[in-house]
Structure 1
Amino acid sequence: MTITAQVVHQVARPSGFPSPSDFAFREQHLAAPGPGEALVENLLLSVDPYHRELMDEAGLTSGATVWGLDSPLEGRSIGRVLTSADPSLTPGDLVYHRHGWRTHALVRASEVRVLPRYGGVPLTSFLSVLGGTGLTAWVALTRTLRLAPGDDLFVSAAAGGVGTAAGQFARLLGAGRIVGSAGSPAKVDRLVSELGFDAAFDYHDGPVADLLAKAAPDGVDAVVENVGGDHLEAAIASLREGGRVAWVGAVAQYNSRSTPPPAPRNLFDVVGRSLRLEGVMVRNHLDAQASLEDFAVPHIRSGTLVPQETVVDGFEHTVEAFLGMLRGGNVGKMIVRVGS
């Protein structure tokens, strides 16, 4: 049996913001799986901010593997096993793996996780609040920040995948005042009206430090930082003595590698106020998956945790979904639905 897969390739290095011409849709012929392999039909694909840094000659993140040109791209995916030559993978199994940006893939058992079947939990959750996005937020709050009941929290890019998960998790963990930043009035309204934030602001409305100071006049104890640049500087300024920052991402500079934003001018305040600034790499915390599911699944079933997702239908719209996510056209996790 031979399957013809549709695959997205990167064909050019972008200069600044990526364009559709940096990608191409190609066909790839896959033979029947060999010993230890399984053929998977992808159902759901994840497009993520970190994919942008992998498009350049050198990734920002330490240890990142830059995408090669004219080859299939990497991305989180959920697929269904069609045929298998490995006894640990059975046709019909739903699996989480990283052979995304394509309709079909040959995988090995060591590369996949067979997903549990939780009644009342949408499959898309395994790419949002139960996937790498939610796990990043969970680790940032529970391991990096060690968020305690009553702690006041600031979340930057709070309407994105990590941000919406972090805000909801923090509320359920008993946080005090939760403040978020977002990129439009509609997103700001949704953070406050639906997602448990006490206050939020549109970062286009003025200097971020001033907006955050107004939203959290007494400061905060902890920060989940997804942006970098002026947001990180504002976060440092807002922290109380002994405050903590979980630095997750730097979306402010992914498209401007040649002219990155200046380092926060108040960086030495980390010393003066005994602050802690720690990076979060979710790949170093995969052992937290079980605790995330133990916490989140009952809340999803009860409706106290609502996965925030923007789902685009059709593999042919994968690049469009990716670019839309980079422009902020999503609330929560951006997902491409390939099949039913």
Structure 2
Amino acid sequence: MAAYKAKQILLAKRPKGMPTLENFKFQEIDVPEPALNEVLIKTLYVSVDPYMRGRMSDRESYVPPFELHKVISGGVVGEVIESKSPDFNKGDFVVGQLGWQTYQLVQSEEIRKIDENLAPITAHLGVLGMPGLTAYFGMLDIGQPKNGETVVISGAAGAVGSTAGQIAKIKGARVIGIAGTKEKLSFLKNELGFDEVINYKEYDVYKQLKNACPNGIDVYFDNVGGEISDAVMKQINHQARIVICGQISLYNLEKADVGPRPQTQLVIKSALMKGYIVSDYASQFKDAAEELAQWMQAGQIKYRETIIEGFERIPEAFLGLFKGDNIGKYLVKI
């Protein structure tokens, strides 16, 4: 017997280049009553994230591609409407990798309870969720910033970049953020305390970096790739660490990117370049989230959210990621 009618968003066809609204399809389904160990969730907030673009293509990656004509999934915060699991009660707030749909049945092991007293529930999709953990492990395990070093972050006003920069500041580094609007630059410098900011849409990024980093670059946290990263690589120091977190400037290219090759610089500077995915650190998530929460409560980490309202606007928000519409975490309130 159907308990609720639910709206869903499916992957209608795989995008070539930049996705459009035609790649998404809406439909309505019946959601039955929960069975043993199942939980009925009402979706409250949906996260849109750049990595989802890779899952829209039918190619091998660190996560399987989305299936055609099936519901798209991502980070979701929801409320328990009905539970047949001893681990969850009606009214609990939960987070998980769930479908883009308004109501859904999930197995109890697919979700975890969140404490709304620790932080607003949306924080569990941002600074206390996957983006915050991504920043934490990339910066601390690979970047390893030291007191007085220079750290450069591209895509610095996004959910990951803004947290990564603040973590570097906590460790005593001098932090330079790269972003694309005056509003984002103001957020980084005036609210988050970045030491210098660079607008990549203005004059030559290489020259701006030269001025901002007179002693070279010790850590580069790379969220964007492309020409911005080429400019950074020319200025890395001996034993620099380059953290490859994302390459958003390349995700919608229809042909493979060809650019300057970094190997010579890595050899000359005895530098490390390492890519990673946050699930590599799954066994450490709990401790990391606790430390992030402590820094947040102490005022050492601040965050911003861009929230738009309406289930039907989820595709719009996703496409907005690639136009730089958001500051901080981009969420849709259902």
TM-score norm. by structure 2 comes to: 0.94
Runs of 4+ in 1 over 6 A off after TM superposition: none
Counterpart Cα distance in 2 of 1:64 and 1:51: 10
Secondary structure of 1:268's aligned partner: helix
Q: Give the equivalent residue in structure 2 for 1:331.
A: 327
Counterpart Cα distance in 1 of 2:206 and 2:256: 19
Higher mean alpha-carbon deviation, 294-303 vs 125-134, is at: 294-303
Paired AA for residue 326 in structure 1: F
Counterpart Cα distance in 2 of 1:293 and 1:105: 26
Change in Cα spacing, 1:118 to 1:142, as seen in structure 2 (3 Å) is farther
Paired AA for residue 77 in structure 1: V
Is 1:184 matched with 2:181?
yes
Q: Give the equivalent residue in structure 2 for 1:66.
A: 65
Paired AA for residue 103 in structure 2: H
1:278-293 matches, within 5 Å, as: 278-293=274-289
Q: Give the equivalent residue in structure 2 for 1:274.
A: 270
Counterpart Cα distance in 2 of 1:215 and 1:2: 58
Counterpart Cα distance in 2 of 1:189 and 1:272: 36
Paired AA for residue 217 in structure 1: P
1:95-106 matches, within 5 Å, as: 95-106=94-105
Q: Give the equivalent residue in structure 2 for 1:162.
A: 160
What is the CA distance between 1:307 and its match in structure 2? 1.7
Asked if the contact 1:229/1:262 (under 8 Å) is kept, the reply is: no
Asked if the contact 1:232/1:264 (under 8 Å) is kept, the reply is: no
Counterpart Cα distance in 1 of 2:78 and 2:104: 9
Query: Runs of 5+ in structure 2 lacking a partner?
Result: none
Q: Give the equivalent residue in structure 1 for 2:92.
A: 93
Asked if the contact 1:209/1:230 (under 8 Å) is kept, the reply is: no
C-alpha root-mean-square deviation of aligned residues, in Å?
Answer: 1.7
Is 1:215 matched with 2:212?
yes
Asked if the contact 1:225/1:231 (under 8 Å) is kept, the reply is: no
Counterpart Cα distance in 2 of 1:183 and 1:100: 31
What is the CA distance between 1:316 and its match in structure 2? 1.7
1:249 paired residue among 246, 250, 259:
246
Counterpart Cα distance in 2 of 1:101 and 1:212: 40
Q: Give the equivalent residue in structure 2 for 1:239.
A: 236
Deviations 1:85-142 (A, max 9, x none): 22122222211111132111211122112113434x2111111100100100000111
What is the CA distance between 1:8 and its match in structure 2? 0.8
Is 1:301 matched with 2:297?
yes
Paired AA for residue 14 in structure 1: P
Counterpart Cα distance in 2 of 1:65 and 1:254: 16
Query: Runs of 5+ in structure 1 lacking a partner?
Result: none
Paired AA for residue 272 in structure 2: R
Across the two proteins, how many residue pairs are aligned to each other? 333
Secondary structure of 1:24's aligned partner: strand
1:139-154 matches, within 5 Å, as: 139-154=137-152
Counterpart Cα distance in 2 of 1:207 and 1:233: 12
Secondary structure of 1:204's aligned partner: coil
Secondary structure of 2:229's aligned partner: helix
Paired AA for residue 78 in structure 1: V
Asked if the contact 2:114/2:121 (under 8 Å) is kept, the reply is: no
What is the CA distance between 1:155 and its match in structure 2? 0.4
Structure having the higher strand fraction is: 2
Identity of aligned residues (%): 32
